[in-house]
Structure 1
Amino acid sequence: MSLHTLPTVFITGATSGFGQAAARRFGHQGYQLVLTGRRLERLNALADELTPHCKVHVAQLDVRDAEQVRSVIEALPTSYQNVEVLINNAGLALGASPADKASLDDWHTMIDTNVTGLVNVTHSLIPMLLKQPKATIINLASIASNWCYPGAHVYGASKAFVAQFSRNLRSDFAGTGVRVTSLEPGLSESEFSLVRFNGDQDKYNQIYDGTNPLQPEDIADIMFWVAEQPSHININSLEVMPTSQAWDNFKVVKQQ
């Protein structure tokens, strides 16, 4: 099949982690890519790496800015408007302190990115997705959307929004050919955790010490599998953990 007839994958947060790995996974299969993120130099480097394998369009984008999102999507070249796969990957966690010690600015940033940013991109791309005979929205949620743990407060709540929003979109799009998946990874090793701890390498290392966490390439393989399913199949939600992680007993504490 000619590269010019292959569908387009639109990826947010393509500068690192799951988004970067997804770009490589789909790109090496010849899919056209629209790569977005805030760090333009990283996007350009990734585009240079992938252009031998696929066509790439790069756009610097802060998903929190609804007007910027609209402008980037409206400015897509005609040959990139056949968006068949949307990967809503841009997101972050900030801090792991108890709620009474958490930063309100961090809370707002997580809501603005994980919730508002995802809504901005999805709303602007829906018209393009609906024009495709088969389309897939993959929203990156988290096991934190299903399971509580100390220090997750707003992060977990924002990812619970992602999971429920995915289910509600699925209800709206039944019969249209647009599929929606909430992908919910557990312990994963990527720049995500370094951002969460404000660049503290020691805290980052402690999380993964003695474990065998998921890698971005693992999640990218799952994204590709979801998108490649036959058009009559929708993967509603998919929770995935490394074998070194599992559920534990409920916490019981003495009253003070």
Structure 2
Amino acid sequence: MSDAPPPASTSIHTKGDLEFLFKLYLNKRVESQMNFYTTRIRENELNSDFTFTASTFVMTLSSLLATISASDPAGSLRALVIWSAILSALAAMLEGFRQLYNWDRQLAIYRDAKLGLERAALIIPDNDLLDQSDIGAVYPRMIASTELVLTNEVNQWGQFLLDKEKQNEQPVERIQTIGTEEQRERIMTDSYGPQAEQSVTQETAAVNAASAPPTDASSNGTVPSEASTEKDETPPAAG
């Protein structure tokens, strides 16, 4: 019995198989994705142009009504003022709706992806030269280029969501709390200058000294305590 290893598998697609896979990928992946990008570009262009034109028209009409109502001294066209305010709110709503969906950014992403697919399709041979081309070399290059474009498009959507989250984030300011005395000193300083601050400091020190409890005379020579005073005033007992 021979110990030689079994022969390696040498199953290779035939040229007909490669041509079939090549055309299948080209029709179902590249051209289908190209049609999708074209449709989305047209849709986002229409949405962006419509909201921009509508908001501009409504804002212009609102300004016109406000001008007409302001030129009426008798005040008989007060209803135009109300309509002007309503149209201004409608124009602001349309502009906010346009910024919410950000159709211009979506349009840029789809255009870049379509342009990338068009560049990747440059390596595809023409139909009349397809039989003379090496499909085994062209097919892997076409797949790698196409999938790279689609991966970059997905990454752009992730960056788009991150940008939207950053726009929605609002910084929270930290409120610094200070004491009552410090507030008083700041008010006096801002109103009357440094001399007022010095007088306030001296007044605060005097109030703190007056409110301090008396200490024992034997400890530091200050005001004697009440107990020691009563003891000194007690007369000596008779012998």
**TM-score in same-fold range (> 0.5):** no
Q: 1 or 2 for the larger relative contact order (CA 8 Å, sep ≥6)?
A: 1
Q: Say which structure is richer in strand.
A: 1
TM-score by length of 2: 0.23
State which structure, 1 or 2, has the greater radius of gyration over its C-alpha atoms: 2
